[in-house]
Amino acid sequence: MLSDDELLRYSRQILMPRFDVAGQEKLKSARVLVVGAGGLGCPVALYLGAAGVGRLTLVDDDAVEMANLQRQIGFDQDQLGQSKAEALAARILRINPLISVEAVNRRLDGEELARQVGQATLVVDCTDNFNTRFALNRACVAAKVPLVSGAAIRGEGQVSVYDQRVESSPCYHCLYPEQGNEDLTCSQAGVIAPLVGMIGSVQAMEAIKVISGVGAPLVGRLLILDAWEMQWREMKLARDPGCPVCSVST
């Protein structure tokens, strides 16, 4: 049940016939785990918090640095040295005090990662390293929790949704094998500031679609952006019948 304050705050979403009060109530009852509070995590968390996702858990073990401020829009000069997860949580609550935001300023692994994923309605991967992505994918496959994955570097980005509740959905491992992939970070290769906002916004939109059941999420599809040419491409993704992660979970 939405309060009068919530009906007013989210009125522009509720006005849409496809979304309506039912969609907003689904957002309110959802718990979203956002792993990574940097370039992608900032727009993802800010938009989901503003849109009314009832419970957000933000995970990041880094502190705000000067070089982050070029693109990580959840932070400002006064927050240098602060925990990213805690600073972003505080920012979201200043925008929308009607939701709950938990900050986890450490890495998740093992049983704690499995527990956090198992409690989530949906997970958003905003990380910048393959080890964490593969661990998140395994946990989401095991718990059958949808995973919205995004990546951005230089002037290129990509987004997809992996949802084991959908029979034909691949998992992240179907696309990227664990061997032969090396991390390339923004500190090494660079990144243009608006790119992370563009990819993060798409991730937030996909999360809302999956939670509300409105629209067609990017399940079985990889959306690729070349920001310098402003070209979006879509690739169809098939499930790998020999995948060591998702083929053994069914």
User: What is the domain class of 4-236 according to CATH?
Assistant: alpha beta
Residue 250 has pLDDT above 60, yes or no: no
Q: Provide the pLDDT for residue 200.
A: 98
Q: Do the Cβ atoms of 128 and 36 come closer than 8 Å?
A: yes
The pair of three-digit structure tokens given for residue 88, joined into one six-digit string? 């972003």
Mean pLDDT value of segment 153-166: 97
Residue whose entry in the numeric block shows the structure tokens 């995970």: 59
Confidence at residue 183, expressed as pLDDT on a 0 to 100 scale: 62
**Quick count: other Cβ atoms within 10 Å of Cβ 99?**
20
End-to-end CA distance of the chain: 36
In this predicted model, which residue has the larger pLDDT, 248 or 227? 227
The reported pLDDT for the residue numbered 177 is: 84
Better pLDDT: 248 or 224:
224
- Edge-to-edge strand ranges of the sheet holding 156-162: 100-104, 55-59, 31-35, 122-125, 147-153, 156-162, 221-226, 231-236
> In the predicted model, is pLDDT for residue 141 greater than 90?
yes
DSSP string, 82-127: SBHHHHHHHHHHHH-TTSEEEEE-S---HHHHHHHHHH-SEEEE--
* Residue-range domain boundaries for the chain: 4-236
pLDDT for residue 249: 53
Residues 178-232: pLDDT tens digits? Answer: 875 666 677 778 899 999 999 999 999 999 999 999 999 999 999 999 999 999 9
Q: Does residue 86 or residue 129 have the better pLDDT?
A: 86
At 2-45, the pLDDT tens digits run 999 999 999 999 999 999 999 999 999 999 999 999 999 999 99
Could you report the per-residue pLDDT of 33-86, keeping only the tens digit for each?
Answer: 999 999 999 999 999 999 999 999 999 999 999 999 999 999 999 999 999 999
